[in-house]
């Protein structure tokens, strides 16, 4: 019996990690109608862009920063979306992929913050109103919570992608052995799970973008 975790294996039958090519699939499958203005695809994406722009207005002030974070959201969301199709490898279900997105951005925030805004970074280690006796502990807690941020970002996205795919795989494995009435029920359940996974793909992309923007605002 094949392992259910084979769907997360980046290696192909030739023992090469060719499944990582699926990361660029979204760019290959974008409809040509998207580049025609106006079009339904363009209007849909503009609506999403305006929504994200309003959300980031509360956190970020400069337009160039907002464009960068919206681009990050678009990349993760399209990768998650393509992973919902059959036989397409989901690269965002791997820590190596997610950590390679979170770590450079977090590291650049830390370098810029400690280089150009040292006093603010130091004062941020102790929340306002902390009793003097608790200050050393608060510094340790804030330092540890700051260090593990890229890891928590990566684990959150990885765990949500793996959980949904495993659930769909486990439910569908025995579908061919069920009688008609139970097979119909199984199809309905899987349809609901696919809708849930579609929402998870968007929500996790949104959470990843918002948390990184919040981290950038702290510097």
> pLDDT (tens digit, 9 = 90+) per residue, 9-31?
777 666 677 778 878 877 776 66
Question: Is pLDDT larger for residue 86 or for residue 54?
Answer: 54
Per-residue confidence band for 182, with pLDDT thresholds at 50, 70 and 90: confident
49 has a pLDDT exceeding 60: yes
Question: Poorest-confidence range of 16-20, 33-37, 123-127, 197-201?
Answer: 33-37
Whole-angstrom Cα distance, residue 197 to residue 81? 9
Residue 15: the pLDDT is: 67
| Rounded Cα distance, 128 and 130, in Å | 6
Q: How many structural domains are present in the chain? A: 1
Provide mean pLDDT across the span 59-71: 78
Q: What is the DSSP letter of 23?
A: G
Task: Give CA–CA dist 187/67, Å, rounded.
Answer: 40
**Residue in 157, 187, 186, 171 with CA at minimum distance from that of residue 4:** 171
How far is residue 17's CA from residue 11's CA, in Å, rounded to a whole number? 4
What residues make up the domain containing 17?
4-217
pLDDT of residue 34: 67
pLDDT attached to residue 123 = 79
User: What distance in Å separates the CA atoms of residue 47 and residue 44, rounded to the nearest whole number?
Assistant: 5
Alpha-carbon distance of 111 to 78, in angstroms, equals 30
* pLDDT at residue 203 is higher than 90: yes
Tokens found for residue 197: 């996974």
pLDDT value of position 219 = 79
176-193 average pLDDT score: 82
Helix/strand/coil for 117: coil
C-alpha pair distances (Å), 67 with each of 13, 18, 74, 196: 39, 30, 10, 28
Rounded Cα–Cα distance for residues 181 and 51 (Å)? 42
Q: Confirm if 82 and 26 have CB atoms less than 8 A apart.
A: yes
Nearest alpha-carbon partner for 152 in 92, 102, 107:
102
Phi (first) and psi of residue 125, to 5 degrees:
-70, -20
Query: ω into residue 138 within 30 of 0, thus cis?
Result: no
Q: What is the average pLDDT value for the chain, to the nearest integer?
A: 83
Percentage of residues in the chain having pLDDT higher than 90: 19
Which pTM was predicted?
0.83
- Note the pLDDT of residue 151: 92
Least confident residue range of 37-46, 106-115, 148-157 = 37-46
Measured on CA atoms in the order 206, 157, 213, 129, is the torsion positive or negative? positive
Tens digits of residue pLDDT in 110-156: 998 889 888 888 877 887 777 888 888 888 888 898 899 999 999 99
Over 80: is that where the pLDDT of 100 sits? Answer: yes
pLDDT greater than 90 at residue 187: no
Q: Strand, helix or coil at 11?
A: coil
How many angstroms separate the first and last alpha carbons of the chain? 51
Q: How far apart are CA 84 and CA 86, in angstroms?
A: 7
CB-based contact 67:51 (threshold 8 Å): no
């Amino acid at each position: 019996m094949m392992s259910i975790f084979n769907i997360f294996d980046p290696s192909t039958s030739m023992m090469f990690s060719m499944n990582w090519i699926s990361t660029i699939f979204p760019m290959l499958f974008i409809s040509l109608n998207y580049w025609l203005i106006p079009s339904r695809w363009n209007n849909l994406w503009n609506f999403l862009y305006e929504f994200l722009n309003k959300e980031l207005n509360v956190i970020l002030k400069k337009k160039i920063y907002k464009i960068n974070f919206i681009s990050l959201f678009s990349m993760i969301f399209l990768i998650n979306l393509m992973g919902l199709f059959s036989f397409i490898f989901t690269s965002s279900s791997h820590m190596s992929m997610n950590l390679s997105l979170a770590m450079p951005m977090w590291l650049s925030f830390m370098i810029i913050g400690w280089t150009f805004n040292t006093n603010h970074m130091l004062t941020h280690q102790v929340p306002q109103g902390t009793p003097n006796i608790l200050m050393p502990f608060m510094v340790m807690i804030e330092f540890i919570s700051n260090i593990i941020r890229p890891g928590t970002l990566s684990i959150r996205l990885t765990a949500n992608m793996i959980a949904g795919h495993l659930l769909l795989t486990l439910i569908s494995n025995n579908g061919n052995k069920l009688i008609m009435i139970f097979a119909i029920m199984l199809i309905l359940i899987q349809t609901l799970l696919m809708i849930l996974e579609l929402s998870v793909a968007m929500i996790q992309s949104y959470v990843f973008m918002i948390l990184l923007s919040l981290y950038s605002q702290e510097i």
